[in-house]
Amino acid sequence: MNKKIALIYMGGTFGCVGEPLAPMPEAEFLPRLQRILPTHLKIECFKAPSIKDSSACTALDWLKLIQQIQSLQLQNFQHFVVIHGTDTLSYAAATLSRFLAESCHVVLTGSQYPLLNLSGENTREFTDAIDNLNTALEAVINLPVGVYLAFFHQVMHARTVLKTHSTALDAFKGQKADQEMNIDSQVINVQLSHFEKAKTLNIINWMMLPIEQEQLASNLDLILSKPPHFLIIQAYGVGNLAVNDQIIEKIKALQLNNCQVILATQVPLGGIDQRYAVSQWIKDSKILVSDALSQADLYAKILKIYLQYPTSEQWHDHWYDRPE
């Protein structure tokens, strides 16, 4: 086996020790991690540019990670395993997939239990960290180019993954890696300018609850007072949302104030069925309809289009672009 694997450590429960759990400094953790790696594989360990609790991660952290991977590609690495916290693991995976596409082999993983015991001297008696890491290492060698997530003996396409349980070992669901899937083939080479722009991205994700249309219109007024770049409206079922002329006018006003409004669904699986969702009000309001494969993938798509194009009108015009 002569394939070089870059193992990138980004923090999370995987590298925590003590009680209560706290991250072990990476300078101490990485040598301990090295001890449990399979000896038949050529693996080099790296610390990520950002090592933190994944609940604190944002686009900036994942763009720095992508830049690190692209830099390592220039050093003849084409296989990457990323250890990441589980809170935003699906968002990291979708973002890497959107930006790296099929330029290399990447598998992300994490764990619900730490690798090491309380003292940090030996591996923990009960942990899913070793199994998850071994699954990721096997997958990165054997799967086609692309980005995947490995967890609890499963390997899934990164853009489809959803965290479905907060504590169970079987915490993630998604489309299996051996099933065919259309991949966004456009690679984005991350530049320093992307870091600064990513800091300014503002998204509001709004899951609908049953309230009167008058109250919905009033809430849109509140958002209109200081609009984000993108407003995601998570509607019901296949994208169903009851609206009136007043609500449509508020949506148009948001668009005029450089806010793109996206219709999505709060139902985790199945997506929007366009036979029902693309009704006349959607055409009249020019609201965008999500075609993403998961909530995390919708976030990654927004980030990518925000960094690619400078104006709200261009975000709208390029929303449905299909890579050649």
Q: How far apart are CA 46 and CA 28, in angstroms?
A: 13
Least confidently predicted of 1-5, 226-230, 233-237, 300-304? 1-5
Q: In angstroms, what CA-CA distances link 70 with 125, 146, 297? A: 36, 14, 21
Of 270, 266, 313, 268, residue with least CA distance to 288: 313
Q: What mean pLDDT do residues 213-222 have?
A: 97
What pLDDT does residue 2 have?
A: 64
- Residue 193's pLDDT band, with cuts at 50, 70 and 90, is very high
CB contact at 8 A, 114 and 129: yes
What pLDDT does residue 322 have?
A: 80
pLDDT above 70 coverage of the chain, percent? 97
What's the chain's Rg over C-alpha atoms?
21
* Ordered structural domains, the chain, with CATH: 4-173 (3.40.50.1170), 201-317 (3.40.50.40)
- Provide the token pair at 71: 């830099």
What pLDDT does residue 312 have?
A: 98
What pLDDT does residue 148 have?
A: 98
Longest dimension (CA), the chain: 66
- Residue 278's pLDDT band, with cuts at 50, 70 and 90, is low
Q: In angstroms, what CA-CA distances link 13 with 21, 123, 147, 222, 288? A: 8, 13, 22, 38, 37
Least confidently predicted of 19-28, 154-163, 202-211? 19-28
Place of tokens 């998961």: 294
pLDDT digits (tens, 9 = 90+) for 65-84: 999 999 999 999 999 999 99
What pLDDT does residue 276 have?
A: 54
What pLDDT does residue 185 have?
A: 80
- Provide the token pair at 66: 């992508």
Task: Name the helix (H) or strand (E) containing 231.
Answer: strand 230-235
Q: What mean pLDDT do residues 34-63 have?
A: 96
Taking the model in full, what pTM does it have? 0.96
pLDDT at 108 over 60: yes
Task: Name the helix (H) or strand (E) containing 140.
Answer: helix 129-142
Q: How far apart are CA 169 and CA 165, in angstroms?
A: 8
Q: What mean pLDDT do residues 88-111 have?
A: 97
pLDDT above 90 coverage of the chain, percent? 90
pLDDT at 304 over 80: yes
65: phi > 0 → left, psi -120 to 50 → alpha, else beta; which? alpha
Q: What mean pLDDT do residues 199-219 have?
A: 97
Q: Side-chain half-sphere of 171: how many Cα atoms within 13 Å? A: 21
pLDDT at 292 over 80: yes
* Average pLDDT value for the chain: 94
Q: What mean pLDDT do residues 247-261 have?
A: 98
